[in-house]
Structure 1
Amino acid sequence: MLQPYACHPEASRGRLFPESISTFRSPFQRDRDRIIHSSAFRRLKHKTQVFVEHEGDYYRTRMTHTIEVAQVARTIAGALGLNTDLAEAVALAHDLGHPPFGHTGEDALAVLMKEYGGFDHNAQALRIVTKLERHYATFDGLNLTWETLEGIAKHNGPVISDKGGSHQVPDRASLPYALAEIDAQWNLELETNASAEAQVAAVADDCAYNHHDLHDGLRAGLFTEDDLCELPMVGECFAEVDRLYPGLEATRRRHEALRRVFGVMVEDVIAVAQNRLAGLQPRSVDDIRAMDGPIIRFSKPLYQSLKVVKMFLFQRMYRAPRVVAERQRVTAMVNGLFPLFLDRPELLPEDWQGDVAAAKAKGNDGRTELARVVLDYVAGMTDRFAIQEYHRLIDPDL
């Protein structure tokens, strides 16, 4: 039974291109399935989280991370009486716009695209699902419902705001072009919160990466279990395992402690949301959108603990010397590939040459349009393909 403030599929605002209703699946289930079967989703298998894809078989990729986020999102949404299918769809789509080499690739492309409208992975995800996936007979993209598009755009909160958040701009004129294009076609109400389901997907993302970055960092030898025992909340989880299972073998001890870290975060989110929902008593999803801030979030004490954990990960993992050295290497690859394709677009594959010709036909705007075509191509690369292309076209030794 869905709560009144959930997104009810029969009340969906529909799709940009009208389609008949499926006999066996709700609109949000169809969105989920289209995302799973998309080319962009398959490429997540070979896109990195922190470590470059070839460094080891056990580190998280964008795909394994995305699957973990979707699992957590379904759990939280189900506990709160929300639409689990919509929460899962947004979770599955939330990283589709990430380029190769994780946030390192994103940072490099943001600089390269500064004079051409910028780059933002959430906006790029929207561009993928509304334009770049070209498989259906009557439309480009996946023709997802308004609610799923809203969730992709706004799961981190309102996009247009004067609060100056990392994902916010002051007005529509400042939007990344990829987001502005779809918003001009179909108003996503970027000044408001997203649905509770999309907020769940965002918090599930936090839960997943806080957990698996600890696990991956341990596996990589960047820190030890003793280091983690000094962290708030994490140390308490290790202490509980030691009390219940004294002398437990190291690998099992690690797993038991970190799965408790996961559990603490998820249970905290559910408890906070239940209390806030009971107090505020929203009667519709529009009540959720109109609230002053998110309804789905961590408690203040846990949020403070997670700030300490994130600072630890920043210092010991994301800025570890070996990770920084790899960041520099792959940044050089992106900085080499993008201008090469921009200056010599004939190097793009044959099936991209139609987009190249259309960009060049734009006259004075042709350079900008061409840069956006090149961005679509480079951002869609997997880690391994980007490395292969750099070695093939530029420098076989880097």
Structure 2
Amino acid sequence: MIYFDNSATTPVWPEVLATFDQVTKQIWGNPSSLHKLGEPAWNLLEQSRRQIAQLLGVLPSEIIFTSGGSEGDNWVIKGTALAKRQFGKHIITSSVEHAAVRNAMAQLEELGFEVTYLPVDQTGRVKPADVQAALRSDTILVSIMAVNNEIGTIQPIKEIGEILQAYPRVHFMVDAVQALGKGLDDVVFSDRVDFATFSAHKFHALRGTGFVYAKQGRQLAPLINGGGQERGQRSGTENVAGFAAMARAIRLVKEKEAQSVKQEQAVRAAIFKHLQQFDHVHLFSDLTPQFASHVLCFAIEGVRGETVVHAFEDHDIYISTTSACSSKKQAEASTLAAMKVPTRLAESAVRISLGDQNTLADAVAFNQAFDQVYAGFQKIID
């Protein structure tokens, strides 16, 4: 089997699962309890927080545990709206954000907030000048993703941050779900970024765990109220075992990050160069530094994306139709639509998303399978 759908989810590493299993069995007290069973749970929770903060170069107090990327996106967006609504109701985002951001914005629009959706160029990138032009006196939030989940575009977060230096009251959020372990920490944690969201199952930890980086001094209204956990920001009994496992996953990811990125780049390049040879193949991703190392989006003209996915599944190779969050709905890829890619091509788009476990041998096997798949579609595409 060759698994090329790592942007949807990653396999849990054995070491990470071992940590979860050990903590679940041995440290099962509620971290809020005052007795001797609660104390080790609390200590491990805070140890995990400190480890993540150290690995990412931030303060432990700036790490807030969540259930994943969707919760994090919703919390920062709606928490900003609640906390800053007296200062304004204008928000800026891009036209290529993940559904968790888009749908949260849509809900705020129903509540009277105004959202500006910035266009993108032919590579799926926002122009910093467009951010500058969209800023108003009542703008309270700018939300731009770090890495596009459909085609892999890296957004100009640093340049946007430089613009926002002149607007200190505006929150700047980055959806960084596709960025951890991809050599992009200097982008995600640049000086002006106030909030960044992460999901653990994208880096070999367990589903249902994640965290938000929330810069010290920036305030959000909580969305989940209750017992006041996470310093009152996110109530609910903490998943100590899950967060400890997540901390271990991040440590393992960071230890091998440079080598993993280099390996992903080599695998992606081998596939990219092979696909370039075919007349009816359209490549939406590129090998330039503006694209992350692990995502490659392409289309076989005239063949629907889901048909291509199943054709590769017959070869025991697993890819996806752009975002896993929308693939079963058979919706046109929102990023490609924003890039003004014709609908017939957008409906044919598929995504390869690599992980550190993928090798050049996988690329060779994929290219051989592609030749057979392409030949099988020859009557359709000619």
Scaled by the length of structure 1, the TM-score of the pair is: 0.21
Between structures 1 and 2, the one with greater helix share: 1
Between structures 1 and 2, the one with greater strand share: 2
